[in-house]
Amino acid sequence: MLPKSLFSVVFVSAVILAACASPTPTVVAPTMTNVPTLAPTAISAATGNPTSAATTAPSATPAVATSAAGTATAPTTAVPATSAADSLPYPHTACSAGVNLAGQTINLYHMIDMSDGSDNFVEPAQAGYADAAAYLNAHGGICGATIGNVFPATDQVYDGRGILKQWEALSPKPALIAMYYFGDEEFLRNQLADDQIPALAIRIGSTAPLYGQTRQTPSWIYATEPLWSDQIGAVCDYLIAHPERYPHPVIGFLPWDNVPAIVSQQDVPATYCQKRGVGFAGIETATSADHFTLQQPVDRLIQRGATVIFTTANQGVPAGIAQDLVQHGLQQTVTLAAYDWAMDPLEGLSYQLLNTANDLPAINGMIGAHGMASLAELDNAAIQLINAQADEHKRGLNLRADGYVKAWSTLDLFRELYVQTGNRVGFDHVTGAEIKTTLEKIVYATLGGVEDINFNGGARHALSAERIGQMSFLGQDGKSPAGPGNPAKNVSVGGGKLYQPIVLPLTGPVPAPDLRPGGADAPAITDTRADLASLTGRIVFERGVDVYLDPQHEIYAINANGSSLTRLTSNLTYDASPIWSPDGKHIAYAEDVNGRLDVFVMNADGSSQASLLNGSLIDASIPSWTPDGRKLLFVAGGDGNNDIYSVNADGSGTVKLTHDLHDVGFPRMSPNGKQIVFTLGPGGDARIAVINADGSGQRQLSDITVGYGSPAWSPDGKRIAFDTGRDGNDEIYVINADGSGLTRLTNSPGSDLGPAWSPDGQHIAFASDRDGNFEVYIMSADGSGAVRLTDDPEGAAWPSWTR
DSSP 575-586: EEEEEE-TTSSE
The pLDDT, as a whole number, for residue 182 is 78
The pLDDT, as a whole number, for residue 214 is 58
Cα distances (angstroms) measured from residue 750 to each of 70, 259, 728, 741, 753:
38, 10, 10, 24, 10
* Residue 217 falls inside a structural domain: yes
CB distance 428 to 195 below 8 Å: no
In this structure, what CATH number is given to the domain that contains residue 398? 3.40.50.2300
Shared domain for 571 and 427, answered yes or no, is: no
Q: How far apart are CA 99 and CA 102, in angstroms?
A: 9
Instruction: Dump the DSSP string for 417-481.
Output: HHHHHHHHH-GGG--HHHHHHHHTT-EEEGGGTS-EEE-TTS-SB--S-B-EEEEEEBBTTSSSB
Q: How far apart are CA 283 and CA 266, in angstroms?
A: 8
> 10-residue block means of pLDDT along the chain (803 residues)?
28 26 29 30 28 29 40 68 80 95 96 89 96 97 97 87 92 96 83 95 84 76 93 96 96 75 66 94 80 82 94 89 85 93 91 71 93 93 97 93 97 98 98 97 96 90 92 90 88 69 93 88 69 89 64 87 89 90 97 92 96 93 96 84 93 91 88 95 85 94 85 96 85 93 86 94 92 86 89 85 96
Shared domain for 203 and 262, answered yes or no, is: no
Shared domain for 341 and 429, answered yes or no, is: no
The pLDDT, as a whole number, for residue 260 is 46
Q: What secondary structure letter does DSSP report for 517? A: T
The pLDDT, as a whole number, for residue 525 is 64
Q: How far apart are CA 290 and CA 295, in angstroms?
A: 9
* Residue 323 falls inside a structural domain: yes
3-state secondary structure of 539: strand
In this structure, what CATH number is given to the domain that contains residue 660? 2.120.10.30
Shared domain for 334 and 442, answered yes or no, is: no
Shared domain for 120 and 79, answered yes or no, is: yes
Shared domain for 682 and 765, answered yes or no, is: yes
Q: How far apart are CA 544 and CA 187, in angstroms?
A: 10
Beta strands in 626-742 (DSSP E): 631-636, 643-648, 655-656, 664-669, 675-680, 687-692, 699-700, 712-713, 719-724, 731-736
Cα distances (angstroms) measured from residue 600 to each of 338, 566, 574, 755:
49, 19, 12, 22
Q: How far apart are CA 209 and CA 221, in angstroms?
A: 7
The pLDDT, as a whole number, for residue 259 is 53
* Residue 393 falls inside a structural domain: yes
With a CB cutoff of 8 Å and minimum separation 6, the contacts of 698 are 658, 661, 680, 689, 690, 691
Q: How far apart are CA 231 and CA 584, in angstroms?
A: 47
With a CB cutoff of 8 Å and minimum separation 6, the contacts of 489 are 473, 474, 475, 476, 478, 482, 499, 500
Going by C-alpha positions, the residue among 268, 702, 299 that lies closest to residue 525 is: 268
* Residue 184 falls inside a structural domain: yes
φ/ψ of 229, rounded to 5, equals: -60, -40
The pLDDT, as a whole number, for residue 35 is 30
Q: How far apart are CA 374 and CA 388, in angstroms?
A: 14
Shared domain for 271 and 312, answered yes or no, is: yes
The pLDDT, as a whole number, for residue 634 is 97
The pLDDT, as a whole number, for residue 72 is 57
Shared domain for 576 and 675, answered yes or no, is: yes
Of 369, 404, 422, the residue that ends a domain is 369
The pLDDT, as a whole number, for residue 563 is 86
3-state secondary structure of 803: coil
Of 415, 430, 456, the residue that ends a domain is 456
* Residue 506 falls inside a structural domain: no
The pLDDT, as a whole number, for residue 676 is 97
C-alpha dihedral over 211, 212, 216, 219, to 10 degrees? -50
Q: How far apart are CA 343 and CA 466, in angstroms?
A: 13
Shared domain for 362 and 443, answered yes or no, is: no
Q: How far apart are CA 406 and CA 372, in angstroms?
A: 8
Q: How far apart are CA 149 and CA 93, in angstroms?
A: 21
Before 172, cis peptide (omega within 30)?
Answer: yes
Q: Which helix (H) or strand (E) holds 222?
A: strand 221-223
Of 335, 369, 403, the residue that ends a domain is 369
Q: How far apart are CA 65 and CA 559, in angstroms?
A: 53
Q: How far apart are CA 290 and CA 648, in angstroms?
A: 54
Amino acid at 654: T
3-state secondary structure of 250: strand
Q: Which helix (H) or strand (E) holds 779?
A: strand 775-780
Q: How far apart are CA 421 and CA 418, in angstroms?
A: 5
Shared domain for 324 and 381, answered yes or no, is: no
Long-range contacts made by residues 358-361, C-beta under 8 angstroms, separation at least 24? 358/21, 358/22, 359/487, 359/488, 360/22, 360/473, 360/482, 360/488, 360/499, 361/22, 361/319, 361/473, 361/499, 361/501
Number of domains making up the chain = 3
Shared domain for 637 and 777, answered yes or no, is: yes
Amino acid at 39: A
- What range defines the domain where residue 295 resides? 243-369
The pLDDT, as a whole number, for residue 784 is 86
* Residue 85 falls inside a structural domain: yes
Pairing of strands 308-311, 335-338: parallel
* Residue 500 falls inside a structural domain: no
Shared domain for 714 and 572, answered yes or no, is: yes
The pLDDT, as a whole number, for residue 47 is 27
Amino acid at 53: A
Q: What secondary structure letter does DSSP report for 187? A: H
Q: List the alpha helices (DSSP H) in 61-219.
A: 122-138, 160-168, 182-187, 189-195, 208-211
CB distance 782 to 745 below 8 Å: yes
